[in-house]
Amino acid sequence: MGDNLPYRPKGDSDEAGRNDDLDDEEEEIDETGYKTVRDAVLFAIEVNKSMLRVPQPTSASKKSDNSSPLLAALKCAYHLMQQRIISTPKDLMGILLFGTEASKFYDEDENSKGGWSFPHCYLLTDLDVPEADDVKALKELVEAESPESAEIFKPAKEPVSMHNVLFCANQIFQQKAANFTSRRLFIVTDNDDPHSSNKESRSQATVRAKDLYDLGVTIELFPISTADHAFDTKLFWDDIVYRSSPSDPDAIVHNPPSIVDAGGSKLVSGAGDGISLLQSLLSTIASKVAPKRALFSSVPLELAPDFKISVKGYLLYKHQKPARSSYIYLGSERPQIVTGYTEQVAEVESDRRPVEKAEIRKAYTFGGEKVTFSDEEVKKLRNFGPPVIRVIGFKPMSKLPMWANIKNSTFLYPSEEDFVGSTRVYSALHRKLTKDQLFGLTWFVPRKNAAPVMAAMVPTLTAEGSDDKPNAAGVSATGAPQGLHLIPLPFADDIRQNPPSTHEVPLRAPDELVDAMRPIIQQLNLPKGIYDPSKYPNPSLQWHYRILQALALDDEIPEQPEDRTIPKFRQIDKRVGSETIEWGKVLEKAYKQYQAENPDAVPTGSKRATTNGAAGSSSAATKKVKTDAAGGTNEEEIRKLWQKGQLAKLTVAELKDFCATKKIPVAGKKADIVERIEEWLENK
């Protein structure tokens, strides 16, 4: 029995195996990647002669803006600052220049006691919530004529000490972002060995880097390579930037793979011009901006009676809309933020007074009568027990139809808060479902008093890796992490009837028409056969933010939005233009053949040609219906239908006609109109 213990190397004793199991169960998991947390980012950009050198334009880089590496890094910070104001307005961001002749650190000056605390460190933008003025100032700096010649970019005559730079960053984080969960230091430099001849300074820098990690600050290196010099991280930076496990999707970006060779330590040369550097920096940074959204925490996952583990739920996908943060009152000298409140008053004009919450009862209409409930009764009606994810059983994945996915899924992540060992059980369940291609059918109550739903517990469908890009993390094709997902399923009440069909047997395209369409589908297939949402920003949302940004920063108003969802018609015509024309000919031929074989068939949506007599009888029938309907909308008939609870059988037009005669509002849906008529009849 001892040799069969899981997670135990052979040759160990049973007791040692059990102790290892206990250690594994008590191991905490890192959940920071799935929480909505405030983020603080500090750019530390080196200033030296090579960073200020403008690269020579080459024929290969037609779109190059010939920016120096320093200016490209500042442009990157500028664009990220623009993004942060809109996407994450509560996050902090700052810019620290090091290696400058000038020094600036808060209220210090050269006459301060003891001189500069951090010489050759210039705090260009303090670590704070970005404001429009900060963005404008940075924009003026990077868009100025020959910005590299600005006074603040004058390099120092003596080399700057890296341990001093890291200690300066440490002080900034402690003063401005002491309690932040996410704190990151972005170092942009082309110097791969700043302390090649000074072992003491090198050792001090290593200690300062360790202090930052102990503080919870993540250091991320953005090294710059040129055609003349390949950046080698082994010389110095491997001791400063800690490498993370490659299986962690949220690991530190240490030498991004797009610009690193197979060895992993030297950067490939040739990517030194400003525009390509800016694009690589922005693509690396932008991928870390959006946080996941927490939905619930510590809900028990009940696998069997008295067998539970605790999990947390997160929304990996959420529809984004432009959000108005506040209302503004413009009636005074200065615009003021309006604080709104809601007050309910009695409907009777003779008693227009605020109604207390205790006086209000909720009512539902049933059979023409109002059935009222107190708050306690409503709570009891909505109470289906405490929050739980209860596994009812397991079924093959083939039994889960595609149409059953009616809402966005919830990602489950194990938690050790309530039940120790949840991570191990979660992992075993995930592997079993993946191996046998099963899904769990669950009863899901996410929160107290929430409506219960039936949900399918599905493991992440791992994307296939390749030799160039192995999928060690097991993420899906769309980037979803490895784990379990809850997909809400429809109840019988949610399924709507199919629309009526004019054909008893569904029409099927002939084989030759299908064969003609096959090459078109093959040529227009998406890259890798998947839809990648990261490549298609919401054009409506981006247009809203672009206008908002232009107004806040006094930029020019753009004329039209950038819409990446517009099909590339020229490429489509080039790829399948002739095939599409040929398919149209086959379709026309198949349609004529169908008409010949089915002469009595009526195309869907068209009208039969009628004779004058038929048209006259149809018109008479229409008039008769209208007359009958008009007669049925008088008050007496309406009251009879109301007493029988059959008001909803009338059409919307008939209801509106009656409302018009009685001056009853007709806004809203049919149910709203029926409710207003019922209230009018009750008060009559």
Highest mean pLDDT among 42-51, 499-508, 556-565: 42-51
Predicted local distance difference test score (pLDDT) of residue 334: 77
The total number of structural domains in the chain stands at 6
Q: Which pLDDT score, from 0 to 100, does residue 267 have?
A: 35
Give the C-alpha distances (Å, rounded to integers) separating 235 from 231, 262, 271, 509, 567: 9, 17, 21, 67, 48
Cα–Cα distance, 665 to 263 (Å, whole number): 74
Torsion of CA 51, 53, 58, 60, to 10 degrees: 10
Among residues of the chain, what percentage have pLDDT more than 70?
76
Per-residue pLDDT, averaged over 609-626, amounts to 43
151 and 276 assigned to the same domain: yes
- Do 112 and 129 fall within a single domain? yes
Let me know whether 50 and 128 are in one domain. yes
Co-location of 304 and 439 in the same domain = yes
Q: Is residue 3 part of a domain?
A: no
Say which DSSP state 114 is in: T
More confident residue, 511 or 280: 511
* Listed residue (223, 197, 195) closest to 208, CA to CA: 195
Flag whether the pTM goes above 0.75. Answer: no
For residues 482 and 577, membership in a common domain is answered with: no
**pLDDT for 480:** 76
Span 422-431, mean pLDDT?
93
- The tens digit of pLDDT for each residue in 287-316 reads 334 455 667 878 899 999 989 999 999 888
Is pLDDT of 272 > 50? no
Grade residue 493 by pLDDT with cuts at 50, 70 and 90: confident
**Per-residue confidence (pLDDT) for residue 634, from 0 to 100:** 78
| Averaged pLDDT of the chain | 76
Residue 398's pLDDT band, with cuts at 50, 70 and 90, is: very high
Neighbours of 612 (CB within 10 A): 7
Residue 366's domain spans which residues? 328-381
CATH code of the domain covering residue 399: 2.40.290.10
170 with 49, same domain: the answer is yes
Beta-strand ranges (E) seen in 316-452 are: 327-329, 336-338, 362-366, 369-373, 388-396, 410-415, 438-445
Q: Residues 585, 534: one domain? A: no
More confident: 57 or 74: 74
Pairing of strands 293-304, 388-396: parallel
Q: Which residue has the higher pLDDT, 526 or 406?
A: 406
Per the structure block, which two tokens stand in for 679? 């209230």
Residue 37 confidence (pLDDT): 65
Give the domain CATH number at 147: 3.40.50.410
Asked whether residue 610 is domain-assigned, the answer is no
pLDDT at site 87:
67
Q: Please indicate, yes or no, if residue 505 is contained in any of the structural domains.
A: no
pLDDT at 614 over 50: no
Output the pLDDT for position 16: 39
Q: Among 381, 398, 424, give the residue marking a domain's end.
A: 381
Query: SS3 letters for 122-172?
Result: EEEEEEECCCHHHHHHHHHHHCCCCHHHCHHHCECCCCCCHHHHHHHHHHH
Backbone CA torsion sign across 411, 417, 418, 420: positive
- pLDDT tens-digit readout, 80-97: 888 777 667 788 999 999
Read off the pLDDT of each residue in 424-432 and give the average, rounded to a whole number: 93
Model confidence at 5, in pLDDT bands (50, 70, 90)?
Answer: very low
**pLDDT in the model for residue 514:** 94
Does the pLDDT at position 633 exceed 80? no
pLDDT surpassing 80 at residue 588 = yes
Select the more confidently predicted residue: 410 or 497: 410
For range 60-70, the mean pLDDT: 63
**Is there a catalytic annotation at residue 104?**
no
Same domain for 350 and 423, yes or no, is no
Please tell me whether residues 172 and 218 are part of one structural domain. yes
Q: Is residue 502 part of a domain?
A: no
**362-366 vs 369-373, strand pairing mode:** antiparallel
In terms of Cα–Cα distance, which of 97, 109, 95 is closest to 160? 97
Same domain, 201 and 175: yes
pLDDT band at 265 (very low <50, low <70, confident <90, very high): very low
Q: What is the pLDDT of residue 95?
A: 93
- Is 267 in contact with 231 (CB distance < 8 Å)? yes
Reported as a single tens digit per residue, the pLDDT across 153-163 is 889 888 889 99
Residue 2: inside a domain: no
Share of the chain above pLDDT 90, in %: 20
User: What backbone torsions phi and psi does residue 331 show, to the nearest 5 degrees?
Assistant: -80, -15
How confident is the model over 17-50, as pLDDT tens digits?
434 433 333 333 344 444 456 788 999 999 998 8
Residue 7 has pLDDT above 80, yes or no: no
Q: What letter represents residue 71's amino acid?
A: L
pLDDT-derived band at 169 (thresholds 50, 70, 90) equals very high
Tell me if 368 is assigned to some domain: yes
The answer to whether position 454 is within a domain reads: yes
- Final residue belonging to a domain, choices 341, 361, 381: 381
User: What does the pLDDT read at residue 661?
Assistant: 85
Is the pLDDT assigned to residue 405 strictly greater than 80?
A: yes
pLDDT higher for 586 or 527? 586
Note whether 167 and 213 are same-domain residues.
Answer: yes
Say which of 10, 35, 136, 644 is annotated catalytic: 35
Q: Tell me if 499 is assigned to some domain.
A: no
- Answer with the residue of higher pLDDT: 275 or 635: 635
Least confident of 350-354, 486-490, 567-571: 350-354
Q: 489 or 667: whose pLDDT is higher? A: 489
Confidence band (pLDDT; 50, 70, 90) for 601?
A: low
Domain co-membership, 84 together with 225: yes
Q: How many residues does the chain have?
A: 684
* Chain segment 191-237, per-residue pLDDT in tens: 888 888 888 988 999 999 988 888 888 888 888 887 777 888 888 88
Q: Kindly state the tokens that stand for 247.
A: 């299986």
